[in-house]
Structure 1
């Protein structure tokens, strides 16, 4: 087992030793303000695991969350082995017995954060494995967490607590264990990603589910199943979100009529456009526009 310990604020923090190009932050352990948030960062970092990386832990007095960004590995917890790969975020509570080892053919690079939760999450939420599609956002959050964690002062501690809360909330939002795509059985996930890419780039030209299905090259029913498995909304909900958000931008930035904007974002029926716009934003397109006129 290649593992070390650092004692911070009376807590034993596990720090792996079989790593390269590691970056860490160790926030000040000075007594913090009574008004500080319930989340308190103890340590965070980014590590490139060496081929021999293998840790086994069961006796640490903190909570941890980890995010895999490169390579592959295995996590053993609760008597089960789970393959981990980019996008997998896993967390565990105090004294939770677990093992982590990397694949020698594709060693992992991962972020981690050790923290005190003080009632922020229950024990069950601190022992989970999830998959997050928006990997780049999580990387940015971890990078900012490390950067802010290297600063001193009460304000810096509050900022790190906020970044940590965002990381945990994004992890909670990620796909749960029973919906995680298999790393090697990736055809369905690739099709789902292709559909998302089509929506992100061509949402104005896509009229609906059939157009999107033809673009991706699958049947509409199968595409809906892919979104149920890998996403958190239906294909139509995702497509409408992009269309309506862009419509809102146009209403505030241009003087075009509602009918023209509806046509631009791919709605042939102005009245249906107004109906779905109001359902999303709580206001008709004209009311939405008029309510924001004159605002900076």
Structure 2
């Protein structure tokens, strides 16, 4: 698999969640130094002056420029004159499958070759729907954010997109594909470690560092996702579904299901049936 193919694979599986968005005039005391957010940000500068630092790079954004500030990277910002920024902005998280995208890719922080009207329309729509109380509004806001992210990527040259830790990424991709394809089996850490050609202890540390949870917890979560599908789409009993997914203990299955889904399997199925007939 070459870099271009792998890059396409990750981008095509992006999951984006909008946290908040707005359009406003910054105050003259707008400033924060040396913080590391656990969310990513887009800034679209409409007017004014200011200063940003993303990692070790400093910027003095100009109107019409779109900035990406990725999560997990130390950042600073401040107003630098009596003419602060007026900007659109949003906070969001983005993953490729189950991996934080910015653990996989390093992207250019600035995109200056954008069409101002196109970006303004996208951001205006994101902000409008993010503030709406309509039941479908958050979905529309998320779809517009996905469109904005795709637009940002489309304006970058390939040399402005760098795959990080390529060997690790390919290894984890192979592991996640194996879990997905064998979710009904009893998948063990030793089995996954062998596929990765690693000692089990080293594999567990790597997996948790990249995905945020130990492999067994990840597998259990995936099994519960599959159980939700089976409870919704089949008439199999809860016991049959538990056995199908490798849970020999029905009580343990129900406990894990409620922990992950917030409902017991029985209540979840009832809820899905109610929604289906409404």
TM-score by length of 1: 0.46
**Structure-2-length-normalised TM-score:** 0.49
